């Protein structure tokens, strides 16, 4: 008995010695990057930002305003007019007029010209748009500069091309527009989501009332200015900032013919219930809890990059984020070691610094939600790993985090956290991987990592998710449809599938 | 858990995804290196330079002039560090040794039938021994790419082992000639093979073949070095060479090292840059950082 205890103690001591002497990579201060902040001076933010209705910037009829802040500093950027019932009504009527009298009657090629013009003006102002997006949303400038803004522009260019070719997109059909589209976009990709919604709607001859998210209205309003500059006929695009109430008024307005919503599953369900029986068309792009599946034959270092990109891109505020990692047991230890090392090199902090990889959490509310779920993960017994990075003292920040030893039944494995928090689980066989990946009420996206081509096709064809990436993650293109299965919504955005949501076929 | 693989084990070499590695290397290339970071980075790069001349027309005069440059890159500013080494053909080792004296600049010699490596093994070993006897501190050998590409891994391993032995106390850098290996999988495989066979440094290229030290190739090799270190505790050095002409490229390489291998490798003992014209671009950028203006090329010596 005593010898058994001795043996065990000895073994423990050996493990400790091994751990202490184990080779370690230190990412320290031998050569540090100097701060490289992008200048905020190139954007002008008005003290008071107004609604954009019928081609003009107007205050809200109620006079109500709300503050919009920079989540990285908590400083107020502007006061924004809050759209109320009368404003929504005015916007919808302006849109209806514009649809009936001008936009739907315009020669399709002319419509295309306007959309091309918007795209070109966005290109000219791409730096301003990127800075504004980062100031208002907290995402790193390198992402708004290299991803959000270029993709938003690409969506306008792509759909401009469709404007006069709709009959080729839907052969053997007569194609007509629907009317006024009420569109509600979230705060994680404010400009990009506005582009995803507005560009196809305009190309198909519809007019738009768009409500940006409460925390991030500024780039939508900048886009409104661009529409003005492009001489877009008044009323074709209307932007009405506000909170949930404004959104509800828009959705419930009787003259709205089509509702497009990107946001939480909870609100999506409310919308679906609210407009049931109204004859309004609906597309919903909701939450997700995507599985990133890493097989033992994957290129491990590149898979780790994909995992990092999948969950820490845009602070994890991505509906298609790879928030669950399913890794084959035979390589799990290796993958976790590499992941631990990799998150130490993620640079967390000032979103305006060009070298920042992970910026600010979008709002205090979201930060609280992330903290709550992380605490829950610890309580449930999963093992917490966090980057040792220092966080700024002001603003909303959360370090890159992942949990190992997560079970399928943990809340952190079931619920959308919408933050830089990854849940890692293991599997033994391909069947088990597919089963676990699909065993969730969501179905927006998934990732598969293997060096074996045939395995890619075997696995991806069995995934119940709208988008499946192979050996990459978070890749978007305007020509490629995007959307979900199950509680991740329905309808597609992008490509011909996305266009279908904005046309009437007969 | 003795993890030191005594010989090259192909089954342990992970695959490399081309799209993924190129994306990561390009991403790190977008780091913004400004102000103090730029000045410190340029000085660091200068101290890591293997100032190289490997031409048929090399002569004693040329080598001696280059040695002066190596010791004192910017005559009017003694704070600019000397380069790490001079890299020459075996014929010039004794001359370089003499010219460099006690400056601290090392002498590296290419050997083993550089650049093709298509000579019999005894000739390679003789080549190596003579360079070491002449005073070379470091030997840059080339692998037999023909043998590697035809799958004769044991032969390549044995050759490296034999050259390593012939090096004695001299450090051995193993040149993979990545431009001829073509795929990242091959680069990774050759890196692991060379490290298992005892290379002190692995080096991308001879400078005679393009492409040479591209960022993704360097990144593949750095990741191999990292994995080798974590598995065995042995720190292998890295030397990109060929086609590195600008300060921007050099700083990009330092970023790759910093974010893959960390602080321990940010030293001339473990990271070198093989180049000939890079030195003047580094000096030009350094002068620009202090004066705010670019000088024309005649303010920097061509040696």
Cβ neighbors of A289 (< 8 A, separation 6 or more) are A323, A324, A413, A414, A415, A416, A440, A442
Q: Please tell me the predicted confidence (pLDDT) of residue A167.
A: 94
In this predicted model, what pLDDT tens digit does every residue of A205-227 receive, in sequence order? 999 999 999 999 999 999 999 99
Contact (CB<8Å) B41/A471:
no
Task: Find out whether A301 and A455 touch, Cβ atoms under 8 Å.
Answer: no
Q: Please tell me the predicted confidence (pLDDT) of residue A62.
A: 97
Helix axes A265-275, A244-252, angle to 10 degrees: 30
DSSP class of residue A306 equals H
Reported residue count of chain B is 303
- Substitution target in A24, A31, A473 with the highest count of B β-carbons within 10 Å is A31
Q: Please tell me the predicted confidence (pLDDT) of residue A482.
A: 97
Tokens describing residue A451: 């060096």
Residues 211-270 of B with CB under 8 A from A: 223, 226, 229-230, 232-233, 254, 258-259, 261-264, 266
Task: Find out whether A215 and A226 touch, Cβ atoms under 8 Å.
Answer: no
Q: Please tell me the predicted confidence (pLDDT) of residue B12.
A: 87
Q: Is the pLDDT of residue A13 over 90?
A: no
**Closest chain B residue by Cα to residue A334:** B227
**Closest chain B residue by Cα to residue A347:** B259
CA-closest candidate to residue A424, choices A411, A399, A406: A406
Q: How far is B41 from chain A (nearest CA, A)?
A: 7
Query: How many CB pairs below 8 Å do chains A and B form together?
Result: 89
- What is the average pLDDT value for chain A, to the nearest integer? 97
Q: Please tell me the predicted confidence (pLDDT) of residue A2.
A: 61
**B20 contact residues in A (CB cutoff 8 A):** 299, 301-303, 305-306, 471-472
Mean pLDDT of A44-73: 97
Contact (CB<8Å) B15/A337:
no
- Substitution target in A299, A346, A347 with the highest count of B β-carbons within 10 Å is A299
**Low-confidence residues of chain B: pLDDT under 70:** 1-7
In this predicted model, what pLDDT tens digit does every residue of B210-226 receive, in sequence order? 999 999 999 999 999 99
For residues B127 and B9, give the distance between their C-alpha atoms in angstroms, rounded to a whole number.
Answer: 29
Instruction: For tokens 């990889």, name the residue.
Output: A357
In this predicted model, what pLDDT tens digit does every residue of A447-469 receive, in sequence order? 999 999 999 999 999 999 999 99
Q: Which of A9-13, A441-445, B10-14, B77-81 has the highest average model confidence (pLDDT)?
A: A441-445
More confident residue, A7 or A504: A504
In this predicted model, what pLDDT tens digit does every residue of A426-438 receive, in sequence order? 999 999 999 999 9
Mean pLDDT of A59-85: 98
Q: Is the pLDDT of residue A127 over 90?
A: yes
Q: Is the pLDDT of residue A248 over 80?
A: yes
- Other CB atoms within a 10 A radius of the CB of residue A114 amount to 23
The DSSP-derived string for A108-168 is: HHHHHHHHHHHHHHHHHTHHHHHHHHHHHH---HHHIIIIIHHHHHHHHHHHHHHTT-HHH
Contact (CB<8Å) B223/A471:
no
Count Cβ neighbours within 10 Å for each residue of A314-345 and write b for 16 or more, e otherwise.
Answer: bbbbbbbbbbbbbbbeebbebbbebbebbbeb
Q: Please tell me the predicted confidence (pLDDT) of residue B5.
A: 45
For residues A48 and A60, give the distance between their C-alpha atoms in angstroms, rounded to a whole number.
Answer: 11
ipTM of the complex: 0.94
Task: Find out whether A440 and A411 touch, Cβ atoms under 8 Å.
Answer: no
Tokens describing residue A30: 């031998």
- Substitution target in A302, A336, A349 with the highest count of B β-carbons within 10 Å is A302
**Residue A5 pLDDT grade (very low, low, confident, very high; cuts 50, 70, 90):** confident
Q: Please tell me the predicted confidence (pLDDT) of residue B4.
A: 43
Contact (CB<8Å) B34/A36:
yes
CB nearest B262 (choices: A26, A32, A297): A26
């Amino acid at each position: 008995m005593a010898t058994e205890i001795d043996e065990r103690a000895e073994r423990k001591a050996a493990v400790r010695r091994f751990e202490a002497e184990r080779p370690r990579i230190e990412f320290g201060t031998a050569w540090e990057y100097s701060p490289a902040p992008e200048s905020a001076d190139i954007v002008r933010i008005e003290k008071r930002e107004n609604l954009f209705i019928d081609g003009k910037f107007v205050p809200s009829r109620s006079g109500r305003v709300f503050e919009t802040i920079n989540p990285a500093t908590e400083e107020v950027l502007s006061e924004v007019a809050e759209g109320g019932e009368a404003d929504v009504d005015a916007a919808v009527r302006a849109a209806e007029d514009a649809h009936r009298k001008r936009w739907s009657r315009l020669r399709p090629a002319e419509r295309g010209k306007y959309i091309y013009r918007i795209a070109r003006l966005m290109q000219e102002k791409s730096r301003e748009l990127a800075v504004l997006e980062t100031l208002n949303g907290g995402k790193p400038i390198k992402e708004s500069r290299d991803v959000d803004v270029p993709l938003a522009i690409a969506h306008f260019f792509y759909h401009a091309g469709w404007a006069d070719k709709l009959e080729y997109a839907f052969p053997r059909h007569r194609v007509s527009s629907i009317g006024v589209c009420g569109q509600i976009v979230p705060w994680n990709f404010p400009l990009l989501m506005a582009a995803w919604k507005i560009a196809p709607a305009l190309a198909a001859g519809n007019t738009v009332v768009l409500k940006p998210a409460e925390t991030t209205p500024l780039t939508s309003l900048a886009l409104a200015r661009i529409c003005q500059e492009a001489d877009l006929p008044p009323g074709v695009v209307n932007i009405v900032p506000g909170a949930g109430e404004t959104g509800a008024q828009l959705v419930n307005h009787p003259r709205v013919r089509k509702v497009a919503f990107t946001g939480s599953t909870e609100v999506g369900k409310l919308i679906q219930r609210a407009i049931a029986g109204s004859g309004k068309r609906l597309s919903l792009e909701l939450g997700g809890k995507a599985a990133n599946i890493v097989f033992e034959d994957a290129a491990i270092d590149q898979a780790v990059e994909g995992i990092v990109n999948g969950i820490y891109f845009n602070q994890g505020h991505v509906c298609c984020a790879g928030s669950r990692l399913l890794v084959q047991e035979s390589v799990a230890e290796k993958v976790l070691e590499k992941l631990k090392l990799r998150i130490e090199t993620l640079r967390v902090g000032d979103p305006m610094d060009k070298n920042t990889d992970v910026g600010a959490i979008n709002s205090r509310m979201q930060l609280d939600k992330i903290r709550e779920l992380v605490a829950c993960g610890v309580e449930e017994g999963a093992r917490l790993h966090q980057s040792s990075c220092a966080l700024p003292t002001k603003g909303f920040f959360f370090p890159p985090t992942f949990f190992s030893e997560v079970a399928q039944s943990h809340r952190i494995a079931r619920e959308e956290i919408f933050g830089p928090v990854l849940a890692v689980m293991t599997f033994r066989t391909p069947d088990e991987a597919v089963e676990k990946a699909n065993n969730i009420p969501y179905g927006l996206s998934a990732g598969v990592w293997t060096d074996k081509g045939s395995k890619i096709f075997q696995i991806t064809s069995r995934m119940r998710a709208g988008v499946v990436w192979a050996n990459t993650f978070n890749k978007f293109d305007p020509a490629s449809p995007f959307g979900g299965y199950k509680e991740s919504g329905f309808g597609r955005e992008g490509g011909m599938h996305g266009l279908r949501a904005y046309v009437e076929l007969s | 858990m003795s993890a030191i693989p005594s010989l090259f084990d192909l089954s342990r070499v992970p695959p490399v995804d081309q799209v993924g590695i190129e994306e990561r290397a390009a991403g790190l290339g977008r780091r913004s290196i400004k102000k103090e970071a730029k000045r410190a980075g340029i000085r660091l790069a200068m101290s890591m330079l293997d100032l190289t001349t490997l031409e048929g027309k090399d002569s004693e005069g040329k080598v001696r002039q280059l040695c002066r440059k190596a010791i004192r890159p910017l005559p009017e500013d003694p704070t600019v560090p000397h380069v790490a080494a001079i890299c020459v053909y075996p014929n010039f080792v004794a001359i370089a040794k003499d010219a460099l004296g006690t400056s601290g600049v090392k002498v590296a010699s290419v050997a083993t039938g550089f650049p093709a490596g298509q000579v019999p093994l005894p000739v390679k070993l003789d080549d190596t021994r003579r360079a070491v006897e002449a005073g070379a501190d470091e030997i840059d050998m080339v692998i037999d790419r023909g043998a590697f590409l035809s799958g004769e891994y044991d032969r390549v391993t044995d050759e490296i082992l034999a050259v390593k032995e012939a090096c004695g106390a001299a450090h051995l850098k193993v040149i993979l000639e990545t431009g001829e290996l073509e795929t990242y999988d091959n680069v990774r495989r050759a890196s692991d093979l060379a490290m298992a066979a005892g290379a002190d440094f692995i080096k991308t290229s001879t400078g005679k073949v393009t492409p040479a030290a591209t960022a993704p190739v360097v990144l593949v090799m750095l990741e191999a070095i990292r994995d080798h270190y974590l598995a065995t505790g042995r720190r292998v050095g890295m030397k990109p060479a060929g086609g590195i002409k600008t300060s921007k490229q050099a700083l990009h390489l330092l970023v790759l090292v910093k974010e893959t291998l960390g602080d321990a490798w940010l030293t001339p003992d473990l990271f070198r840059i093989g180049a000939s014209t890079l030195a003047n671009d580094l000096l030009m950028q350094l002068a620009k950082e202090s004066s705010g203006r670019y000088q024309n090329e005649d303010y920097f010596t061509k040696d």
